[in-house]
Chains A and B, each alone.
Chain A
């Protein structure tokens, strides 16, 4: 943007017009995003009241409840499921993003459209579709039993595998798009050069292409890993009691025990889990270059 300001803002008073334009969204987000998030850290130390509200006074009941080893196991599982889902998403998203970027322009638009449509499709419906397929009477189970790949008594639903599979299914479009965006800008003559210099195809891919689309890879990892940490619907609908994640526990404390402070305490654990990868990436990026504002979500 040029440094010389147009006259129309000068006349209004730069400061005043900035304040007027900033105030509505700033105030709204401060009131309904920032304050509630900070409030969780305060209200976790309040006692629960028996009617599902938040009592008066202060207590360490939440901290004591969080020391229960079941929560450590669940936090560990949450991390593990999110990592596995992210890794699988990347395995599928990197070749797909590359292929879409290298397709002919006409084909590329069609492929892009096909990737974007699930992105717009109702999340609940996509989870439900898998619940139908994995159902004991469902399509996949019958096919696997027919092929002799599964035991007739085996359950495809209500286990960790189903949670990872459906998590990958729901988040994959979000991983493909940033990788495609980076792969589209990549200069493929670099790969030809590497090949001319004697690199094998996989070597050229790993040593030239992957570093070249690093920004897309980082974004893709974050947009899968962070929401996966906060999963609630997927483990709730296709997982069993052995595949519960932090999100399920938060929801149970809210809707079953009606213990809001403890739900808040569990969300603090989740907030810390989310902040760790985010701050790590921010620190790495600060080293690389100053981020530019904007872009499509």
Chain B
């Protein structure tokens, strides 16, 4: 039976739609013209200029610092949440817990931003890097918890029992058996948390206060104030970083992906 070619043509159109804007942006970053549009020759001047913008590097440093702290805290909180949901999933407490973990995923960012801002202001907490970390952990926990929970569902807990039968204490069994087997899932979850934290603009913008600047906030103000060629160059660097990250994460999940390919 002949299959319709329409969906495959449509997929091609969608992929062009996805990548053409990104491609244009990358090409423009090497355009020596100040205003874009017309090609004035290949140049690395905008990349060079980037290195003389201390404000960008300061905000990049803040972003990295925040992302590292957020990744560790949300990994700890999200993993314990996943373990609780997996092992006690049927209790009433875990149903409430699951709702609490799941809901932040479906709440628009701006609502989380404004409610956290109002809570911080009402409680007299001064805004800055600290409040950004608190906000980021809050939305990263859910992603970490659900990613780890997905891995736990493939996990054979009989192995833990075997370790216990062989004389391991509960803590030893957790540390020497459970955690190593969960490691790829934890790495994937950590990567998601890190990426979300690095990329977040809306919530950060609300809870940052006037002093603290992260890279997305810097990029946003550059877009607003029209520093176009510089953003092209900065975006290209960030895109290269993203592609690298995706390759690493594909590598981390590679064994799983291969198993999922059915034999032809």
Contact = CB atoms under 8 A, between A and B. Distances in A.
B87 A33 contact: no
Given A111-B11, A131-B223, A35 B119 contact: yes
Nearest to B13: A92
Interface string B219-263: 110011000100110010011001101100010000001000110
Interface stretch (A60-68, A153-161, A263-271): A263-271
B81 A24 contact: yes
B147 interface: yes
Contacts of A222: 106
Contacts of A116: 246
Nearest to A127: B223
Interface in A67-121: 92, 95-96, 98-100, 102-106, 109, 111, 113-118, 120-121
B53 interface: no
Interface residues of A, number: 101
Contact of A39 (B91, B122, B152, B202): B122
**Which of A95, A106, A113, A222 has the most C-beta atoms of chain B within 10 angstroms of its own C-beta?**
A95
The CB with the most chain B CB atoms within 10 A, among A8, A39, A254, A293, is that of A293
Contacts of A104: 264
B9 to A, nearest CB: 8
B25 A132 contact: yes
Contact of B111 (A102, A230, A294): A230
Residue from B13, B21, B98, B101 whose CB has the most chain A CB atoms within 10 Å: B21
B173 A8 contact: yes
Interface in B86-116: 86-89, 91, 93-94, 97-98, 100-101, 103-112, 114-116
A43 interface: yes
- B interface, over-half SS: helix
A123 interface: yes
Interface string A3-35: 000111101101001100110111011101111
B10 A32 contact: no
Interface residues of B, number: 106
List of 9 A-B pairs having minimum Cβ-Cβ separation, nearest first: A230-B108, A25-B81, A36-B119, A21-B84, A129-B21, A95-B7, A36-B115, A95-B10, A99-B7
Interface of A: 1, 6-9, 11-12, 14, 17-18, 21-22, 24-26, 28-30, 32-37, 39-40, 43, 52-54, 92, 95-96, 98-100, 102-106, 109, 111, 113-118, 120-133, 135, 137-139, 142, 169, 172-173, 176, 192, 195, 201, 222, 226-227, 229-233, 237, 247, 250-251, 254, 260, 263-264, 267, 270-271, 274, 278, 293-297
Given A36-B115, A297-B146, 6 more contacts: A18-B94, A33-B100, A54-B121, A122-B235, A271-B111, A274-B107
